Chains A and B, each alone.
Chain A
């Protein structure tokens, strides 16, 4: 098994490398540059700027410099946020994104999974239909509709919570964005959990467990839950990567200073290093989570044995 994971890890590094390379050349292939402004700069100043940032070099040389800096953990300076390095920008915003992201994921797991189990146990009852109808709403309605609607209801009509804005250590400002952020994964997990639980409940070892006379609670918790969690683990990998790199929509509507806006803003401003920093973090997270999920699979279902 250790061999298998070492092999997977060795396979992940070239993938990450290819993604970084593709992103690097793709973003530079987009017409326009970081110093294009409404008023064009005098050519001498532009040339100086480009020299200062190494943009006057051939692209493959810039690539070499970027990759070797990256290998030393240096994401480079931002082109648009003068005086800030990409590392500093991300370090500033990440705590906020992490805070709402972890809260949203916890909420999604802690509500979504039990809701799915509940629906499966009451298969084809009114409770099942009600839970699954709510789940479809959660899946279908996007966060940029949900969050403003929540703000309108709880903020403007009821005055219970602030509509937007951010204050250090203020939980009240985070409630609505966390709700909006957690709703889609929550609903997905509830639905997947119901489906996989129904399937597991039909399998032979569950019938045996019931035949032994075990109470329902024990059968579910000790026998059915682990194998039924398998598809959830697969769903969580991309979900965690997406949530931890920040939701542009939720953060911008709620006015939170997270890292969600950097990718799109950076790409629109041709802030090459900022975009690359976000791509590196996202794809590294995605690949790392893929490995974690493989480990989870083996733990959840002892029948899975990886061979080197």
Chain B
């Protein structure tokens, strides 16, 4: 309870959470308010400036597509990826790290060696591999990013598990005859939660960043859907003639990532967790 109070007395974190909730609300409701469709081409208003003409509040792109709807669709995509892929990477990371840390010894050594090798390989590599093999739907993208983002989570969980393993309640569980799987699931994992929550909130912006990076490269979200990354890539090419094409999605992405980071930092301070 005192953690929640500490969090509430941190004005930056509260403001950041407010902005995040606001962005979620706009992203969910916004597209319903606009009369424009995400894929509709408005040839009468090509590369229009932001304004009220044709209800293109954030302007349009080179094809006359409405930037308001496309930016909010991209924001939604970023949030969905951030949540889904973080959940996946969290799940893998906790399971892997807890097993390695609890079993220790040779198993731990081998499992950590695997992580060392995987982190030596560039992430983009796996993404290309997985998207080529499994096709490029947005669900594959969630899975792919989640499947490559768990390495640092596993490292942190392992470190925490190493110290939890030596505590008395684990000894008591062993003495009362609980099996290894049960001890990890019922006694180790629940005690990891503090650091896991903090790290998870900081994983979400990293994953959003990674998704927009992939979309920026053209490896992410497919047309007609947009991603903040693709919009920024398009906007960067048009910034001389139509700067709003860069400024609108860029500002959305920057605001989202900034607030998630500030909130995560606030949460870390409130829960008093040390970074791994």
Contact = CB atoms under 8 A, between A and B. Distances in A.
Interface of A: 15-16, 18-19, 22-23, 26-27, 29-32, 133, 136-137, 139-142, 144-145, 148-149, 151-152, 156, 163, 248-249, 253, 263-264, 267-268, 275, 278-279, 282-283, 286-287
Interface residues of B, number: 39
A139 B209 CA distance: 11
A268 B128 CA distance: 7
B262 A145 contact: no
Given A142-B212, A142-B257, A286-B120, A27 B239 contact: no
A274 B258 CA distance: 36
A145 B232 contact: yes
Contact of B236 (A22, A148, A282, A286): A148
Interface of B: 12, 113, 116-117, 120-122, 124-126, 128-129, 132-133, 205, 209, 212-213, 216-217, 229, 232-233, 235-236, 239-240, 243, 246-247, 250, 253-254, 257-258, 260-262, 265
Given A19-B120, A22-B117, A141 B258 contact: yes
A15 B258 contact: no
Contacts, number: 106
Contacts of A249: 213, 216
B216 A137 contact: no
Nearest to A32: B132
A18 B169 CA distance: 39
A203 to B, nearest CB: 16
B239 A140 contact: no
Which of B120, B128, B260, B265 has the most chain A CB atoms closer than 10 A to its own CB? Answer: B120
Contacts of B12: 133
Contacts of A145: 232, 250, 253-254
27 contacts: A15-B117, A19-B117, A19-B121, A22-B117, A22-B121, A31-B132, A31-B133, A136-B258, A139-B261, A140-B205, A140-B257, A141-B254, A141-B257, A142-B209, A145-B232, A148-B250, A149-B247, A149-B250, A152-B243, A263-B122, A263-B124, A264-B124, A264-B217, A267-B125, A275-B125, A283-B120, A283-B121
A152 B253 contact: no
A291 to B, nearest CB: 14
Contacts of A263: 122, 124-125
Contacts of A282: 120, 122
A152 to B, nearest CB: 5
Nearest to B113: A15
B78 to A, nearest CB: 12
B120 A156 contact: no
Contact of B124 (A19, A253, A267): A267
Given A18-B117, A148-B239, A253-B236, A23 B129 contact: no
A253 B129 CA distance: 25
Nearest to B16: A136
A301 B20 CA distance: 42
Contacts of B212: 142, 144
Given A26-B126, A140-B260, A140-B261, 7 more contacts: A19-B117, A23-B121, A136-B265, A142-B253, A144-B233, A149-B246, A151-B239
B202 to A, nearest CB: 10
Given A142-B253, A145-B254, A287 B120 contact: yes
Contacts of B129: 26-27, 29-30
B122 A144 contact: no
A16 B121 CA distance: 10
Nearest to A156: B240
Nearest to B212: A142
Contacts of B257: 140-142
A17 to B, nearest CB: 10
A22 B257 CA distance: 33
B71 to A, nearest CB: 13
A100 B231 CA distance: 27
A23 B38 CA distance: 39
Contacts of B265: 136
Contacts of A29: 129
A22 B235 CA distance: 37
Of A31, A141, A145, A275, which is in contact with the most chain B CB atoms at under 10 Å from its CB?
A145
A137 B126 CA distance: 29
A156 B244 CA distance: 13
A15 B232 contact: no
B124 to A, nearest CB: 5
Nearest to A284: B120
B243 A156 contact: yes
Contacts of A248: 217
Contacts of A268: 128
Contacts of B243: 152, 156
A163 B239 CA distance: 10
A32 B131 CA distance: 13
